[in-house]
């Protein structure tokens, strides 16, 4: 099932998308996605879908979780091909992690809606880049879970564009600042629940800039996979409902081209994952 956060007449709400993908059915009494995560196990989705639907084109979709309660947990260099291109660009400092994943975090004051603007910060950033990523949303408290049980803690999956300011990312020892500027986290267009998206199967992941295919990979080429990451992160640290984990990006980011292909105002960035959809944004 696909779950959306949307705005209608100036108010935001959450809803279920019907099977045809044409109408949004608001979930009564549910203020936001965090509340929907809480009531999800008990929700009679069939009853919600029998309720009145709003035509999808008549609502404005927002990021499924517009204001995450905590920073997004990100994986760095988590596809073999991206490790290779990063190593070629950055030299000896960047290697594919062979034993332990690279974790970093990304502040998201407000996630960018589908169709919304990526802020270029052109007074500050000369090398703006895109990273199409699969993002995992945790559904119930995960503490010391095993890899075998890890997927039971997943609420759903969405697409996240880990927009990056490369100079800022690399001039500080940690990537946090260069990943966390306002308008750097497009997310959506919706959350797909695990019954509809099998993360254990290879799914195509792509990005296009102004229609030009840049990233073109499959999720099975991740170095560390979702069950492993949830299990490891949950050792000694509770992953609370609503936690977002962004699983890293494949090769084909702007930094990897010679010369680099940075983003500029007016560019249209489309990130797609098979089984989820396409998240399209414009650089402003």
Helix, strand, coil in percent for the chain, rounding step 5: 20, 35, 45
Per-residue x/- marks for Mg ion, 215-234, CB under 5 A? --------------------
Q: Which helix (H) or strand (E) holds 215?
A: strand 212-218
State the nearest-atom distance from the C-beta of 74 to Mg ion, in Å: 5
Q: Name residue, tokens 């084109």.
A: 57
State the nearest-atom distance from the C-beta of 100 to Mg ion, in Å: 17
Which letter, b or e, does each residue of 72-92 get, where b requires 16 or more Cβ atoms within 10 Å of its Cβ? bbbbbbbbebbbebbeebeee
Q: Which stretch binds Mg ion (CB under 5 A): 116-124, 156-164, 195-203, 221-229?
A: 156-164
Nearest residue (CB) to Mg ion, 78 versus 280: 78
Q: Is 139 exposed, middle or buried (0-12, 13-18, 19+ CB in 10 A)?
A: buried
99: left (phi over 0), alpha (psi -120 to 50) or beta: alpha
State the nearest-atom distance from the C-beta of 51 to Mg ion, in Å: 38
State the nearest-atom distance from the C-beta of 105 to Mg ion, in Å: 11
Q: Residue of minimal CB distance from Mg ion?
A: 162
Scan residues 121-140 and list those touching Mg ion (CB under 5 A).
131
36, 128, 161, 162: which one contacts Mg ion (CB under 5 A)?
162
Tell me how many residues contact Mg ion (CB under 5 A). Answer: 3
Q: Which stretch binds Mg ion (CB under 5 A): 32-40, 86-94, 117-125, 160-168?
A: 160-168
The C-alpha atoms of residue 157 and residue 154 are separated, in whole angstroms, by 8
Q: Which stretch binds Mg ion (CB under 5 A): 3-11, 65-73, 115-123, 245-253?
A: 245-253
Angle at the Cα of 200 from the Cα atoms of 199 and 202, rounded to 5 degrees: 85
User: Chain-centre distance of CA 64, in angstroms?
Assistant: 10
Assess 85 for contact with Mg ion (CB under 5 A).
no
Select from 242, 131, 216, 223 the least CA-distant residue to 178: 131
Nearest residue (CB) to Mg ion, 17 versus 209: 209
State the nearest-atom distance from the C-beta of 133 to Mg ion, in Å: 6
**Which residue ranges make up the site for Mg ion (CB under 5 A)?**
131, 162, 249
């Amino acid at each position: 099932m696909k779950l959306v956060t949307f705005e209608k007449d100036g108010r935001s709400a959450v809803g279920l998308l019907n099977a045809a993908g044409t109408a949004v059915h608001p979930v009564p009494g549910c203020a936001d996605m965090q509340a929907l995560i809480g009531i999800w196990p008990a929700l009679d989705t069939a009853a919600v879908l029998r309720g009145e639907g709003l035509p999808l084109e008549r609502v404005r979709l927002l990021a499924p979780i517009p204001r995450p309660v905590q920073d997004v947990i990100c994986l760095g260099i988590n596809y073999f091909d991206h490790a290779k291109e990063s190593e070629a660009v950055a030299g000896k400092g960047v290697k594919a992690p062979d034993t332990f994943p690279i974790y970093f975090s990304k502040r998201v004051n407000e996630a960018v809606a589908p169709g919304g603007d990526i802020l270029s910060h052109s007074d500050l950033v000369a090398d703006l880049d895109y990273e199409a990523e699969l993002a995992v949303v945790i559904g119930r408290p995960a503490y010391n879970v095993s890899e075998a049980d890890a997927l039971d803690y997943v609420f759903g999956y969405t697409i996240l564009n880990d927009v990056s300011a490369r100079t800022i990312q690399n001039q500080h020892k940690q990537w946090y600042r260069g990943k966390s500027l306002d308008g750097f986290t497009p997310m959506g267009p919706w959350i797909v629940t695990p019954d509809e998206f099998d993360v254990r199967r290879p799914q195509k992941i792509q990005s296009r800039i102004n229609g030009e295919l840049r990233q073109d990979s499959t999720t099975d080429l991740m170095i560390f996979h979702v069950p492993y990451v949830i299990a490891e992160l949950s050792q000694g640290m509770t992953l609370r409902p609503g936690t977002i984990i962004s699983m890293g990006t494949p090769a084909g980011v702007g930094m990897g081209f010679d010369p680099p292909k940075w983003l500029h105002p007016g560019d249209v960035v489309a990130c797609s994952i098979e089984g989820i959809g396409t998240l399209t944004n414009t650089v402003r």
